[in-house]
Amino acid sequence: MRTKVTVVIDEKIGTVNPNIFGHFAEHLGRCIYGGIYVGEDSYIPNTRGIRNDVVTALKKISPPVLRWPGGCFADDYHWRDGIGRRDKRPKTINIHWGGVIENNHFGTHEFIDFCRLIGAEPYICLNVGSGSPKEARDWIEYCNFSGGSTLARERGVNGASEPFKVKYWGIGNELWGCGGYWDPRAYATEVKRYLTFIHGFSVFTIACGPRGDNLFELRRDWVLEFFEEFERRHHPQFFPIDGFALHFYTRGPRAGGDTNFSHPEYYWMLRRTSEMEDRILQVRAAMDAYDPQRKVGLVIDEWGSWHPQAHKENGLWQENTVRDALVAALNLDIFVRHADKVSMANIAQTVNVLQAMILTNEEKMLVTPSYHVYDLYKEHQSGTSLRILIDCPEIGFRSEGEELSIPAVSGSASLKDNTLFLTLTNISLNEETEVDLVLLSSDVIKVKRAVARELRGSDVRSYNSFDEPDAVKPKMTGISVKDVQRRKVTLPAHSVSAIQIEF
């Protein structure tokens, strides 16, 4: 199998916002308790109750931003339950995820502490479903005000004399569903009400966008009606939003389980993943009708693999195979290629839930194949996205009587200083591909250095377990300057490759 990859050095798309490599942590299953937070008295090594091993692993992949506390949990979360002495915090019921008792030991201060430890900017999702504008503006004042207000002084009493300076704030979560089943016009009106009371704090506000797997909501019922109502009857002091959030998970009845899937189910899941590109184009086009200058950023603050066996009863826990790593790579390539459209993306979720970066079991911890993709791709952050053209074979397969196909190779490219960073994914189950690499530039390109790493497993169903935590991990490849000068690169079957070429 042969593939031609053309990188147009002179055709710049836009700066790759580091935030598209963001993460998401919700009070769901063992994401927070046991995954991130174990308490200061735990035998598991920790810093102020936060697991040291998780912090060390996340710092390595340079997480730019972390979204919290949900998810569905956010619209039933009242922030005052999670401040002050932990032994005095109320015990509440997590109505969305199993009806378990939430002890609120991990609240605002602990979340900010965790973000600072891993080097991420905090992104807090406000409660719209069961909350109020007053509760929202008080939370922002508590976090960000540097003066002597009662809330700022209370923050100091609780251990933080300096403001947290939280920039990103979501105005509710999935308001079309678990956030309260609003219609888009009513939600747009509510967003304007919230903005009226929080605009004075100079924060970046993100409104809830559509559910990506509902095409009716995507094309008409949510995006266009939201913006139509949002911009109707402008007040002289109209306050805009800064971001608009799309959610799109890779899941469906033809994908099989997390580790028990057939070859057609393998390809169907990756084909489903590739639909993210259409969703971005559709939502951005609808947004452009009202925001042609693109002042409002497209945010994809929930995405990732969601397998059928991940139910509330197990806290949405699932294994993470090589196939999931390819899902991560295909999505990240799409985000990089559309750097002019996507301003943030947050994979779901950071620890122990859905397409997790990390899995824990008591004192044990491992990083997943998806984590390794983030490690491979982190060099894209803050680079300039370049046009990339891929001419490759289509892989045909049959799914429930339907003949389908998907391109064998995906990729993206970015430039930082004099270094080209190229990521390429070969999804073929059995065939490696020889890549003819073309670097188009108005300047003469002389390659000084080339290094590459690749991620693959012995099988697409391979995953890291607590008995074998390094079953799937990246390795250096034998690429050389001569290989790049000859424009010949080999991609193994079901693999992700990251290539740095210094000019």
Active site residues: 174, 302
Residue 38 CA to residue 192 CA, distance in Å, equals: 39
- Biggest CA–CA distance in the chain, Å, is 67
- Peptide bond connecting 253 to the previous residue in cis, omega within 30 degrees of 0: no
- For residue 425, the surrounding DSSP H or E stretch is strand 419-426
- For residue 395, the surrounding DSSP H or E stretch is strand 394-399
Q: Is 201 helix (H, G, I), strand (E, B) or coil?
A: helix
Say how many C-beta atoms besides its own lie within 10 A of residue 151's C-beta: 17
Question: In degrees rounded to 5, what are phi and psi of residue 43?
Answer: -75, -15
Q: Is 445 left (phi over 0), alpha (psi -120 to 50) or beta?
A: beta
Whole-number Cα distances in Å, 488 to 302, 434, 436, 448, 484: 37, 7, 5, 16, 6
Residue 334 CA to residue 453 CA, distance in Å, equals: 20
Residues 17, 340 contacting (CB under 8 angstroms): no
Contacts 24+ apart (CB under 8 A), 217-222: 217/176, 218/279, 218/282, 218/283, 219/282, 219/286, 221/184, 222/176, 222/184
| Amino acid letter, residue 89 | R
Q: How is residue 423 written in tokens?
A: 């990521």
DSSP string of 89-115? SPPEE-TTTTTPEE---S-HHHHHHHH
